[in-house]
Every structure is written in C-alpha cells, then in structure tokens.
Amino acid sequence: MDQLLAKIEQYKLEIQASSVGSKEELENFRIKYLGTKGLLKSVMGEMKDVPNEQKKAAGQLLNEFKLFVEAFYQQLSDSFEVSDNQSANYIDSSLPGQSLPLGSRHPISIVQNKMIGIFQRLGFSIAEGPEIEDDWHNFSALNLPENHPARDMQDTFYISQHPDWLLRTHTSNAQIRAMEKGELPLRIICPGRVYRNETISARAHCFFNQVEGLYIAENVSFADLKQTLYFFVKEMFGADVEVRFRPSYFPFTEPSAEMDISCLICSGKGCSVCKRTGWVEILGCGMVHPKVLENCGIDSNKYTGFAFGMGVERITMLTYQVKDLRLFSENDVRFLKQFT
Ligand code: PHE
C-alpha cells in the first residue's frame, strides 16, 4: 500500500511536469495516461495485489488519482480550444481588404455640377431660394400679375391651406430675391428643383431641375448674353456644336429668345430626339424686362441685365443619350450606377 502511494505521488509529479505543445502531443498524453493500455489502467490493475483489509483505502486513493489525471487532461485540452478560438479571431492585417460597394453620383448632379462650374468660371456665384414660394416671387414680380394669360404657360401646384403659396415653377424666384437685396452689379446662377402640374411622360415630369442665370450691371447688352451662352455651350458640349437663337416670348424678358443647339444624337441629320429638325431647344433667355427691375427696386434707366433658364434633365439626356426622363427619378440602381 505504501508502495502504491509512493508510485502515485511519483506519477503525479511526472504528469504535472509534462508539457503539451500541440494537438498531437495532447493525444499522445491521452493515450499514455488514459488510454486502454495506459498508465491509469495499469495502476488500477495493481488493486488485485493489495491485501483485502487495505482495499478500501487503496480504492479511494486510486479513484482520487483517476480524477486527478482526467482533470489534468481536461485542463490541457481546454487550453487548446482557447488558442483555437484565438486563431479564428486573429486578423491578418496583411491580407487585402474586402472593398465595399461604392455609390456613384446621380447623373443629374454630375451634369448640374458641370454646368455650375462653367458659369462659376465666368464669375457667376450661386444663389438659392425656397421651393415653397409666394405668388409675388414666383409670378407677380416677374411681370406676371394675377390673371395674366402667360401664367398658364406653367401649370402650377398651389398649396390648398395657404392661397398665396405654391411650389415654384422655376428658379426665377431666387433671382427676384437676389435683386431685392439691392447689391449691384449682380451675377448669379440659380440651380434647383421646380414643380409643374404636367402629365408624366418620357419628355415631361411634374418635378425637374433648372439652372437659371442673371447678370445685372450698367450697359449689359444682348451681345453679352449671346457670348455667355456660346461659351457655356462650347464648354458643355464641345467646340463642334452649332447654336441658333429664335425670337420668343417671356413676360419677364424683352426681347426674348430661345436657344437651340445642333442635335448631338444625329449630328443634325434628323432623328426622333430632334423631331427630324436637326435642332434641339435647350433654353429660354432675354434682356430683363424693365418692369421686373423696377419691381425689385432697381433703377432701369441706369441698369440693364440678361437672364436665361434651362432644364438640367434635358441637358443630361443630351449628354448621356438618355431617351426617357422618368429614369432620373425611379432610383433604379442598374441605371444609376452607369454614370461616373
Ligand atoms: N423662367 C423661364 C422658365 O422656367 C426660363 C427663362 C429664364 C426664360 C430667364 C427667359 C429668361 O420657363
């Protein structure tokens, strides 16, 4: 019995000193001590040599030893699991990262930014105004008094709770607000969203974007207007594009004109986009009506000015050859991701 006790103490020391560095060594440890032909089994086998009266004490001793070996093994294998987990969480910072899908700018924003950039190079700065506007800034100040038939040129959304309010039909409201401030000379462009009560189709929508421009100083002439717009068209569409002006009517400009460019899609030969004429209208323009200047407190004997306005959707359709304007507001990513 004493011999057995001494042996077990010896084994315990040996086990405690054993170092296990890999899964393979762990398995060897298990086989050596806990396996069917292992040390534990052979020590247990020594029970038969123990005299009967000592069997009980020896049984207890062996049982304790068994628990000790099993607990030790468990501890070793637990420590391996921890290091396994650690390797699962280990981040190899030298691996190439997973790239996140990046969005792209909306084609309307791309084109609008380009338009703004061209006018900024000519010294225009940006002026903005509210999309919910009162009747004065959207219509009356622009020489469109109540019951003026030209109000029908732009079908208007009115705000039913407030009879004087409406959704602006053009960004000219921002021009009126800028003129009312009275700081002259004035050279601004007004980008922004506008609203008209129109049936939605491939060519028209109930909301769209405009860039309008206004230049007021002494001795501004129609020639200045034409040169400004020539510069814009060449920068926007390239040097080969042709331009023509046609007389037109707007209540807020006199004289008024509309400007066409040669069709970019068929190069002037005639197609469905230009309705077989070879020309596409892109903007309205003219010399600011003296009444409009007076409405904003500007002396029309001293100052003259020109104004122009165009739709960003139309310019974008020509730039990217998009044939249906509804695509711009449907948010179909397959369409939107084509533009960079
Ligand atoms: N405000 C006009 C429109 O929206 C465009 C325009 C602006 C025409 C300035 C002439 C001069 O239709």
pLDDT digits (tens, 9 = 90+) for 2-57: 888 888 889 889 888 888 878 888 889 889 998 899 888 888 888 888 888 888 88
Regarding predicted confidence, which is higher, 81 or 72?
72
- Among 232, 236, 208, 237, residue whose Cα is nearest residue 108: 208
- Structural domains in the chain (count): 2
- Among 201, 226, 211, 204, residue whose Cα is nearest residue 306: 226
Helices 312-320, 222-237: inter-axial angle, 10-degree rounding: 40
Regarding predicted confidence, which is higher, 147 or 84?
147
How far apart are the CA of 308 and the centre of ligand 1, in A?
Answer: 6
The reported pLDDT for the residue numbered 59 is 86
**Residues near 265 by beta carbon (within 8 Å), at least 6 away in sequence:** 271, 273, 274, 318, 321
Mean pLDDT (the chain) is 92
Question: What ligand 1 atom has the least distance to the C-alpha of 214?
Answer: 9
Instruction: State which residues form the domain around 13.
Output: 2-89
**What average pLDDT does the segment 280-295 reach?**
98
- Give residue ranges with CB within 6 A of ligand 1: 170, 172, 212, 250, 253, 284-286, 307-309
The C-alpha atoms of residue 168 and residue 321 are separated, in whole angstroms, by 28
CB 185 within 8 A of CB 216: yes
The reported pLDDT for the residue numbered 233 is 98
Residue 111: its H or E element? helix 107-121
153: in domain: yes
Question: What ligand 1 atom has the least distance to the C-alpha of 284?
Answer: 8
* 174 and 65 both lie in a single domain: no
CB 172 within 8 A of CB 178: no
Q: How many helices (H) and strands (E) does the chain have?
A: 11, 9
The reported pLDDT for the residue numbered 88 is 61
* 325 and 192 both lie in a single domain: yes
Choose the final residue of a domain: 59, 89, 119.
Answer: 89
Residue spans of beta strands (DSSP E) within the chain: 125-126, 132-134, 165-167, 186-195, 207-217, 243-250, 253-262, 279-288, 304-311
pLDDT tens for residues 261-273?
Answer: 999 888 888 888 8
How far apart are the CA of 93 and the centre of ligand 1, in A?
Answer: 57
* 31 and 118 both lie in a single domain: no
Give the residue whose CA is nearest to atom 10 of ligand 1: 285
Cα dist. 141→175, 180, 210, 224, 270 in Å?
A: 10, 10, 19, 24, 40
CA atoms within 13 A on the CB side of 153: 13
* 83 and 137 both lie in a single domain: no
Given a cut of 70, whether residue 86 has pLDDT beyond it is no
